[in-house]
Amino acid sequence: MNNLEEVAKNIRRKIVDMIYRAQSSHVGCSLSSADIWTALYFGGVMNISPDTFEDENRDRLVLSKGHGVSAFYATLSERGFFGDEILKEYGKDGTTLASHIVKDVLPGAETSNGSGGHGLSLGVGMAKAAKIRDLSYRTFVLSGDGEMEEGSVWEAMLFAGQHKLDNLVLIVDRNHLQDGKDGQRTEDILDIEDLEKKAEAFKWDSVRVDGHSFDELIPALKETSDKPRMIIAETIKGKGVSYMEDRGEWHGKAPDEDEYKIAMEELT
Amino acid sequence: MRFESVRAIYDYGIKNGKMCFITGDYGHTKTEEFRSDFGDRYFNGGMSEQNIIGMSAGMAISGLRVATYSIVPFITLRCFEQIKIDVCEQNADVLIIGGGGGLAYGGAGATHYSIEEIAALSALPRMKIVSPADPREAYELTSQLLELGGPAYIRIGSGREDDLPVDKYNVKLGKAAVLKEGGDAVIFSYGTIIKEALKTSEMLKERGIDLGVVNVHTIKPLDKDTIVKESRGKRAVFVLEEHNVIGGLGSMISSLLLEGGLTPEIFKIFGVEDTWPKKIGSQKYLREELGISGNKISQKIDNLLR
């Protein structure tokens, strides 16, 4: 797994670098998801690469937690979908790299997103299309935990369970923090738990894993059953940078020069 | 109109194996045929319009074509953001069919009226908006929208409307149809209420006023050429619509004419005057109450032109 650790570190360095240069935004939830991205794109989970991106049977990734987009850009560049130099445009006037993903602006970007609660329905549609078209691809949706408060998510959950979309995986980046300068926890705002019981009630399978452990993430992501799957990935917001970890203030803040240097040292 | 629009989906889907049809718990006549001939390309998505629209977009960007079908306010405004981002921003092949346009569900009250959705949807880039006047137009325009693809909304009625009492004309998406040439004045309209415009024209004829009637079934993109051509040289230009006077066809035509330097002596939009009716009743009753029936607007136009 050493190689994966290296990849995840590179992704984290790219995230911090983008957000430092742009002085914007959403570093915490990008860092929390870096290991999930690594598992999906480098851990042998998704059938996807720059060479096979036009293939109808490529696996699909829907970024639903749109504010975590810098992790997505960093992952795609690390995977070779485009060069690192494009990342330096992030946050500049005239860039196509919005701080929420826009479909087709970059190779590898399947959908537009940025408003919470849209991604699962898109993923449901993609998974349903695979059934109708008799294609074998799987669809992965990466959602934030705060986003699970949106009602549309539960409409989509209901549909996926009813239609037995066993080719659909919802990954919840469960970092327990949402916006709020005082570091408010989802439990104190709208408690989304008990997710396992909710999944079961909606006719889904579920598993809770350490979202920073490849040994737990990768098998959970690879496993299939006859139902849609929810992977509850327990993560730490700001993971990898000591002063950001589990600190609500780093939801939407960008590091200053000194903070940037410390972060990059820690990620060496 | 409902039957004709659904029949167009069926006919298109028989030829095109990628065509899917999702209803939002809104019945229609061809259910059995869809089940047997569309298989898993047809289903009822339940009372979950946000998911239906988002899912439709997901299906469309995965190589399918999708038509969704429910009552106007539920399948447009309730899931407006899904239409904005998932359908329009992604340029997805999703056709939204809204039943009960305007005040068609008169007795059901404000929850079921649609007098604001054209204002909202017309502000979405890439969205096409169509409102047929009769079953023949519903079939033709639904078919043409499917051929064209991309995000689209079609506003239909709630039942078995009659065909317009005019000679058959060519129904072409994006092209307004001149139903009656006018001399003194012209009225632009769309949807089933265009029959009231035709009635008005007949009534005014008896009073010596020559009112032209133009059917603007495609509201977006607007047929600017025909509208400007038919307005030029007219003393008065009117718009009749079963929609709020704010943000509908009247708003579009007023800015079009002003930008083109056309300033008729009289310009008036007849529509719902930014209100919900206090008393409810049939569509016919509501048109009378709100002053947008043939009787009412012919009196108003007569007064304005005196």
How far out from the chain centre does Cα B207 lie?
30
Gap between the Cα atoms of A86 and A77, Å rounded: 8
Contact B82 A121 (CB under 8 A): yes
DSSP for A55-85, written as a single string: -TTS-EEEE-SGGGHHHHHHHHHHTTSS-GG
Q: Is B94 on the interface with A (CB under 8 A)?
A: no
Domain that holds residue A165: 2-266
CB distance A238 to A32 below 8 Å: yes
Same domain, B106 and B244: no
CB distance B56 to A128 below 8 Å: no
ipTM of model: 0.96
Q: How far apart are the first and last CA of chain B?
A: 38
Gap between the Cα atoms of A70 and A250, Å rounded: 14
Gap between the Cα atoms of B205 and B187, Å rounded: 14
- Separation in Å, CA of B44 to nearest CA in chain A: 10
CATH number, domain at A109?
3.40.50.970
Q: How many CB atoms lie within 10 A of CB A115?
A: 19
Same domain, B146 and B204: no
Same domain, B267 and B138: no
Same domain, B192 and B123: no
**Predicted pLDDT of residue B160:** 78
Of B54, B60, B63, the CB nearest to A121: B54
Gap between the Cα atoms of B197 and B192, Å rounded: 10
CB distance B78 to B114 below 8 Å: no
Domain that holds residue B64: 2-155
Residue B86 DSSP one-character state: I
Of A252, A179, A267, A259, whose CA–CA distance to A27 is shortest? A252
CA distance to A36, A174, A221, B64, per residue, from A208 (Å): 13, 10, 11, 34
CB distance B173 to B144 below 8 Å: yes
Has residue B221 been placed in a domain? yes
Same domain, B54 and B94: yes
Angle between helices A151-162 and B49-60 (to 10 degrees): 70
Rg (alpha carbons) of chain B, rounded to whole number: 19
**Predicted pLDDT of residue A180:** 63
Strands (E) across A72-221 are located at 139-144, 168-174, 205-210
Angle between helices B31-38 and B2-15 (to 10 degrees): 10
CATH number, domain at B146?
3.40.50.970
Q: Which residues of A touch B59 (CB under 8 A)?
A: 125-126, 128-129, 132
Has residue B182 been placed in a domain? yes
**Please, which contacts does B172-175 make with residues 24 or more away whose CB atoms are closer than 8 Å?**
B172/B144, B173/B130, B173/B141, B173/B144, B173/B145, B173/B148, B173/B218, B174/B218, B174/B221, B174/B223, B175/B218, B175/B223, B175/B226
Interface probe, candidates B85, B89, B93, chain A, greatest A C-beta count within 10 A: B85
CATH number, domain at B192?
3.40.50.920
Same domain, B150 and B274: no
Gap between the Cα atoms of B296 and B240, Å rounded: 12
Q: Which residues of A touch B46 (CB under 8 A)?
A: 158-159
Same domain, B77 and B35: yes
pLDDT in tens, B233-259: 999 999 999 999 999 999 999 999 999
Residue B94 DSSP one-character state: E
Q: Which residues of A touch B62 (CB under 8 A)?
A: 60, 125-126, 129-130, 133
Rg (alpha carbons) of chain A, rounded to whole number: 17
CB distance B6 to B28 below 8 Å: yes
Q: Is A133 on the interface with B (CB under 8 A)?
A: yes
Q: Is B204 on the interface with A (CB under 8 A)?
A: no
Gap between the Cα atoms of B190 and B193, Å rounded: 7
Same domain, B150 and B229: no
- Beta strand pairing call for B42-44 and B177-180: unpaired
pLDDT by residue, tens only, chain A of 268 residues: 469 999 999 999 999 999 999 998 789 999 999 999 999 999 999 999 999 899 999 999 999 998 899 999 999 999 999 999 999 999 888 888 887 888 888 888 899 988 999 999 999 999 999 999 999 999 999 999 999 999 999 999 999 999 999 999 999 999 999 876 666 889 889 999 999 999 999 999 999 999 999 999 999 999 999 999 999 999 999 999 999 999 988 888 899 999 999 999 999 9
- Separation in Å, CA of B162 to nearest CA in chain A: 37
Has residue B171 been placed in a domain? no
Q: How many CB atoms lie within 10 A of CB B26?
A: 18
Which residues are within 8 A (CB) of B204 and not within 5 positions of it... i.e. 6 or more apart? Answer: B210, B211, B298, B301, B302
Interface probe, candidates B34, B43, B47, B50, chain A, greatest A C-beta count within 10 A: B50
- Separation in Å, CA of A244 to nearest CA in chain B: 32
Gap between the Cα atoms of B188 and B172, Å rounded: 17
Interface probe, candidates A55, A155, A163, A167, chain B, greatest B C-beta count within 10 A: A155
Q: How many domains, in total, are found in chain B?
A: 2
Same domain, B134 and B65: yes
Segments of chain B with pLDDT less than 50: none
Same domain, B143 and B182: no
- Separation in Å, CA of A111 to nearest CA in chain B: 7
- Beta strand pairing call for B211-215 and B177-180: antiparallel
Q: How many domains, in total, are found in chain A?
A: 1
Of B20, B59, B95, whose CA–CA distance to A111 is shortest? B59
**Predicted pLDDT of residue B294:** 97
Strands (E) across chain A are located at 60-63, 139-144, 168-174, 205-210, 229-234
Contact B86 A103 (CB under 8 A): no
**Predicted pLDDT of residue B306:** 87
Has residue B249 been placed in a domain? yes
What's the sign of the alpha-carbon dihedral A246, A15, A40, A201? positive
Structure tokens at B252: 């579009």
Q: Tally the residues of chain B.
A: 306
CB distance A139 to A91 below 8 Å: no
Q: Is the peptide bond before A25 cis (omega within 30 degrees of 0)?
A: yes
Contact B61 A103 (CB under 8 A): yes
Has residue B233 been placed in a domain? yes
